[in-house]
């Protein structure tokens, strides 16, 4: 509560925990499933309060080692503190964290993206579109978009970020262009395009959004996608190709294909890899990025179907005893030591390194509902229902099959509870669930500047794009 009104939900509320550390505050990404549960049950006021108070904190003065990050950064979290005033009076204040208190001091790239996505969901589910039309809210959206769309040294349409800038907020080798951020970025751009008031002051921003959406969509669909056919193609790549006509554009060496993948990939199905950079493909399966690519239509309809086929085919590996693995496989031995820095919390098959996170259940449910695969959602929810309440709603589960409660897992974790509740409510309200995902936008293909020709600069037609990319 802040000044008598609810503004969010704390990360965890374990009555037996006497040292909650940073779990006694409101995290932007953690609040999303709770917010959706409130909205789906007709309780929109708390979500509105959260959106407005997070917006007020966006312009807060923040520095780390005397350096100020870009304007438009949304805080990772905030606490409600009581401070003494003169005359023995007390005042409630909001204390935001932009990463200056986080482990590793990493700024939360995903917070602003989730804020925009939640703002759209609030309007869709409540019908209160006046909130997104407010001048301060429009300004907040523009600040986030300008920060994400700013010109820099990067040559790719994907968003360049550091390690630990998203749900995986510790060193896990996801620096560069991680899939999760690209899927959220794409969703935030599509949400903004729906909500921005178009006038002389915003028309250039809308044009930039359309251009980026088109380029990002092509980039992810073409270069992040792997299935049996694509892996076979990479296996026979030529390297050191210097020209605009290069097939192996990112100079990927076939030796990078890990042995586990060649034995693991099913004949039917595929997925979007975790990361792509020059001479580097991270072939790990990251669940949130793939699920949100389905929800947002970042993937093609055929790719979206293949992702769910992949999860079904590899159910024991990706779901196991508790939905769902945050990534697969875990980093082990020397890879764990070098990539994580010997992180004692991210040991193999624990926490962010292959742990199972029940909060991912709601994204999985939404993706299944979009693709008419409700049987998979029911199967996953039934698994979670057997254990979550009896285990006191843990933050995450350990081991390859997700059988044990995480060794450092917080109990009564709010987004574990909310992820389960939201999944149940979504299945009960399919007409409301349909308001939360995006359908394929074929108009984007009209402005697609892609590599369908030798120069890579010619505009492609809808017919050419659909025949060569989408189908």
Please spell the DSSP secondary structure of 303-330, one letter per residue.
HHHHHHHHHHHTHHHHTTTSS-BSEES-
Distance of CA 17 to the CA centre of its chain: 29
Helix (H) or strand (E) holding 275: strand 270-277
Q: Please, are residues 102 and 89 in contact by the beta-carbon 8 Å criterion?
A: no
Residue 448: pLDDT band (50, 70, 90) is: low
Please spell the DSSP secondary structure of 39-83, one letter per residue.
HHTT--HHHHHHHHHHHHHHT----BTTB-PPTTPPPSEEEEEEE
pLDDT surpasses 80 at 347:
yes
The answer to the question of residue 408 being in a domain is yes
Alpha carbon distances (Å) from 23 to 35, 309, 460, 468? 17, 36, 49, 48
The answer to the question of residue 152 being in a domain is no
Q: What is the pLDDT of residue 463?
A: 46
The answer to the question of residue 409 being in a domain is yes
The answer to the question of residue 396 being in a domain is yes
Quote the crossing angle between the two packed helices 135-149 and 45-58, to the nearest 10°: 60
Question: How many structural domains are present in the chain?
Answer: 2
Instruction: Give the residues across from 280 on adjacent strands.
Output: 277
3-state DSSP assignment of residue 447: helix
Of 106, 124, 143, the residue that ends a domain is: 143
pLDDT surpasses 80 at 313:
yes
Give the chain's mean pLDDT.
Answer: 92
Backbone angles phi, psi at 98, to 5 degrees: -100, 10
Six-digit token pair at 287? 């669940």
Question: CB-based contacts of 251: which residues, under 8 Å, 6+ apart?
Answer: 239, 240, 241, 278, 279
The answer to the question of residue 341 being in a domain is yes
**CA-closest candidate to residue 26, choices 80, 73, 67:** 80
pLDDT surpasses 90 at 457:
no
pLDDT surpasses 50 at 49:
yes
For residue 342, how many C-alpha atoms fall within 13 Å in the half-sphere facing its CB? 0
Please spell the DSSP secondary structure of 163-227, one letter per residue.
TTSSSS-S-SS--BS-HHHHHHHHHHHHHHHHHSPPSTTTHHHHHHHHHHHHHHHHHHHHHTEEE
Pairing of strands 404-405, 270-277: unpaired
The answer to the question of residue 350 being in a domain is yes
The residue ranges of DSSP E strands in 293-388, in sequence order, are 327-328
The answer to the question of residue 244 being in a domain is no
Q: Please, are residues 181 and 296 in contact by the beta-carbon 8 Å criterion?
A: no
Q: Name the residue range of residue 64's domain.
A: 1-143
Q: What is the pLDDT of residue 468?
A: 43
pLDDT tens readout for residues 77-102: 999 999 998 888 889 999 999 988 88
**CA-closest candidate to residue 307, choices 287, 323, 327:** 287
Q: What is the pTM of this model?
A: 0.94
Q: What is the pLDDT of residue 447?
A: 66
Q: What is the pLDDT of residue 11?
A: 95
Six-digit token pair at 273? 């890899």
Q: What is the pLDDT of residue 452?
A: 44
The answer to the question of residue 284 being in a domain is no
């Amino acid at each position: 509560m802040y000044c008598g009104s609810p503004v969010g939900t704390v990360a965890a509320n374990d009555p037996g925990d006497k040292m909650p550390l940073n779990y006694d505050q409101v995290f932007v990404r953690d609040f999303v499933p709770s917010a959706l549960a409130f909205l789906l049950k007709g309780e929109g006021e708390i979500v509105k309060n959260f959106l407005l108070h997070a917006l007020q904190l966006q312009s807060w003065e923040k520095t780390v080692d005397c350096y100020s990050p870009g304007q438009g950064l949304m805080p990772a979290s905030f606490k409600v503190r009581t401070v003494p005033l003169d005359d023995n009076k007390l005042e409630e204040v909001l204390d935001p964290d932009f990463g200056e208190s986080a482990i590793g001091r990493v700024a939360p790239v995903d917070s602003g993206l989730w804020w925009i996505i939640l703002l759209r969901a609030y309007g869709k589910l409540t019908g209160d579109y006046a909130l997104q039309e407010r001048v301060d809210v429009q300004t907040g959206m523009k600040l986030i978009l300008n920060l994400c769309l700013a010109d820099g040294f990067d040559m790719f349409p994907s968003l360049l970020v550091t390690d630990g800038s998203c749900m995986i907020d510790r060193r896990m080798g996801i620096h560069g262009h991680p899939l999760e951020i690209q899927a959220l970025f794409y969703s935030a751009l599509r949400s903004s395009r729906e909500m921005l008031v178009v006038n002389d002051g915003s028309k250039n921003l809308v044009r930039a959004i359309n251009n980026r959406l088109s380029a990002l969509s092509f980039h992810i669909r073409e270069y992040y996608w792997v299935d049996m056919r694509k892996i076979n193609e990479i296996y026979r790549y030529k390297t050191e190709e210097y020209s605009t006509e290069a097939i192996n554009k990112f100079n990927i060496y076939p030796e990078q294909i890990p042995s586990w993948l060649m034995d693991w990939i099913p004949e039917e199905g595929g997925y979007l890899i975790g990361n792509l950079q020059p001479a580097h493909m991270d072939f790990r399966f990251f669940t949130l990025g793939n699920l949100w690519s389905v929800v947002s239509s970042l993937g093609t309809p055929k790719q979206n179907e293949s992702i769910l086929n992949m999860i079904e085919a590899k159910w024991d590996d990706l779901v196991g005893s508790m939905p769902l693995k945050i990534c697969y496989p875990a980093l082990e031995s020397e890879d764990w030591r070098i990539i994580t820095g010997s992180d004692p919390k991210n040991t193999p098959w624990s926490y962010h390194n292959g742990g199972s996170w029940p909060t991912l259940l709601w994204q999985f449910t939404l993706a299944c509902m979009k693709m008419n695969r409700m049987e998979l959602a029911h199967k996953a929810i039934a698994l979670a229902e057997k254990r979550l309440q009896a285990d006191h709603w843990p933050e995450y589960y350990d081991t390859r099959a997700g059988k044990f409660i995480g060794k450092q897992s917080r109990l009564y974790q709010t987004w574990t509870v909310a992820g389960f509740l939201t999944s149940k409510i979504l299945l009960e309200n399919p007409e409301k669930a349909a308001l939360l995902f995006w359908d394929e936008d074929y108009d984007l293909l009209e402005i697609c500047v892609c590599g369908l020709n030798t120069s890579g600069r010619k505009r492609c037609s809808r017919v050419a794009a659909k025949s060569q990319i989408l189908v």
